[in-house]
Structure 1
Amino acid sequence: MIKVLFVCLGNICRSPMAEAVFRHQVQAAGLEQRIEIDSAGTGDWHIGHPPHQGTRAILDQYAISYAGMKARQVCSDDFTSFTYIIAMDESNVRNLSAFAPKGQGTASIHKLLDFAPNRRVKDVPDPYYTGNFQEVYEMVEESCRRLLDHIVREHRLA
């Protein structure tokens, strides 16, 4: 089982959007029995909360389910139980180091936009502060599509 964890700051905007979009793409590809998806935040402010209203609205617009999703915080076990940890920005990558077990992590850590190399920006902006949920959705959708292509190739799932 390939396991993918999307990470942002509070786990209510970007990472749950990526989790829902990626799950939708994985299901469309018929790979839901081979790829497991989750999301988490590096902060603890929103634990137990559903995705932000702006995230829910954009996912509703594209008919993508977020049913049952609740914010949680990253934990040290994530570094050994997930295959990929996908951060939304460089700050998230830095913050992840506070949770990583010393010398034991096996997860491959990337930024989401590493999978969209043609984009001028390298970090997914936080719509919690900017309100740009549509722009973030477009970044997430493209990057998740390319991430899925990468996983299919890398793990020979096709």
Structure 2
Amino acid sequence: MNSEKKLAILFVCMGNICRSPTAEGVFRARSDAAGLGHQLQLDSAGTHAYHIGEQPDLRSQEFAMKRGIDLSSQRARKVVADDFDKFDLIIAMDKHNLAVLEKICPVAYQHKLSLMMSYATRSDADEVPDPYYGGARGFDQVLDYIEDASDGLIEVLKIRGHVQ
């Protein structure tokens, strides 16, 4: 990888207030702890425009903060056409949002799309479930899944030579 260009990763869910900002925050913390943060540009977005400009859901912030991750500076935004060119990896939290991305993503950039849980090594779940309408356990589960997938993604990036 060119040492001057950062690897750009976009995490995507539906509204960009629960799962994708959590993924951005967890992955930032994990990559910083691994000494790789300076090589990465991270962001998150939603496939829908429900919450543009809003902070992450207060429950997401609360549960992330219990693990030392501050999401308060993030603001929700919607995926835009330029994202497909700008980001090297675009990682969806579930199959529905991956399908939405596949529909709007130019063919030339389809290879950039993947599912977050495809990087997990400790869980066999294939999606990060949406905790929005559930209870507290859902937010902890989201963090568990995202931590697992983040660790796996870091290893994949190292193996592929994207980070050192």
- What TM-score does the superposition give when structure 2 sets the normalisation length? 0.89
Distance in 2, Cα, partners of 1:32 & 1:135: 24
Q: Is 1:25 aligned to 2:22, yes or no?
A: no
- 1:80, 1:107 within 8 Å by CA — same for their partners in 2? no
Matches within 5 A, 1:107-126: 108-116=112-120, 119-126=123-130
In structure 1, runs of 5+ residues without a counterpart are none
Q: Secondary structure of the equivalent of 1:155?
A: coil
Question: Could you say which structure has the higher helix fraction?
Answer: 2
| CA RMSD in angstroms, aligned pairs only | 1.5
Distance in 2, Cα, partners of 1:86 & 1:125: 14
In structure 2, runs of 5+ residues without a counterpart are 1-5
Q: Secondary structure of the equivalent of 2:151?
A: helix
Distance in 2, Cα, partners of 1:69 & 1:50: 6
Aligned to 2:3: none
Q: Secondary structure of the equivalent of 1:141?
A: helix
Q: Secondary structure of the equivalent of 1:6?
A: strand
- 2:92, 2:113 within 8 Å by CA — same for their partners in 1? yes
Aligned to 1:100: 105
Where has structure 1 moved over 4 Å in runs of 4 or more? Answer: none
- What TM-score does the superposition give when structure 1 sets the normalisation length? 0.92
**Number of residues of Structure 1 aligned to a counterpart in Structure 2:** 157
Structure 1 counterpart of 2:34, which letter? A
| Offset from partner CA, 1:45-71 (integer Å, 9 cap, x none) | 100000001110111101112242000
Q: Secondary structure of the equivalent of 1:121?
A: coil
1:25 is displaced (CA, Å) by 1.0
1:97 is displaced (CA, Å) by 2.7
Aligned to 2:47: 42
Aligned to 1:65: 70
1:33 is displaced (CA, Å) by 1.8
